[in-house]
Amino acid sequence: MKFPMIFLALPLALTIGVLQAGAAENAGQIKVSKGAVQIERSGQRTPAPVGSVVQQGDLVITGADGSVGITFRDNSLLSVGPDSVLSIDRFVFDSTTHQGAFESSLKQGTLAVVSGKLAKQSPEAMKVRTPAAILGVRGTEFLVRTGSVKD
């Protein structure tokens, strides 16, 4: 009679797996939002007030008066300045082992970073791309500035 129990347990296990996969999509959350701040996801731009979720694949866009502070699941803190475009290219984080990858692209503007558990566990796991370079994070704090697309 153990065989029917497997059929009862399997749907429950699959449901839990799907819920965990859905939760894994959330890379971080906006903690500070001032001025014009938007998130572009799947081609749709929406305002990004405090509490908004940031996911892998999102673009974070600030206007001339905009700035945003984002806390990621590994406790990395990113501050994006005015007239900036930041792409969250890849975010994978295992909260148990602190392993994963965090890759972003600063297309224009300014970015200040205080790295979290991911970079502290594996410094090579965090990278920031700019139009001119790829930065491998080896420290815990840094600032990046790129010219605008118009420059």
pLDDT digits (tens, 9 = 90+) for 105-144: 999 999 999 989 988 888 788 888 988 876 666 667 777 7
The stretch 86-109 carries a mean pLDDT of 94
Q: What are the two backbone dihedrals, phi and then psi, of residue 136, each rounded to the nearest 5 degrees?
A: -90, 125
| Per-residue pLDDT tens over the stretch 35-85 | 999 999 999 999 999 999 999 999 999 999 999 999 999 999 999 999 999
Residues 111 and 78 sit within 8 Å (Cβ to Cβ) = yes
Tell me the residue length of the chain.
151
Question: What residues contact residue 137 under an 8 Å CB cut-off, 6+ apart?
Answer: 113, 115, 119, 123, 126, 127, 128
The Cα 97–Cα 121 span in angstroms is: 9
* In the predicted structure, residue 4 carries a pLDDT above the cut 80: no
* In the predicted structure, residue 5 carries a pLDDT above the cut 80: no
The Cα 130–Cα 132 span in angstroms is: 5
Q: In this structure, which amino acid lies at residue 2?
A: K
Is 42 in a helix, a strand, or coil? Answer: coil
More confident residue, 146 or 83: 83
pTM of the complete model:
0.79
pLDDT for res 132: 83
The Cα 92–Cα 2 span in angstroms is: 37
pLDDT for res 124: 84
Among 120, 124, 72, residue whose Cα is nearest residue 97: 120
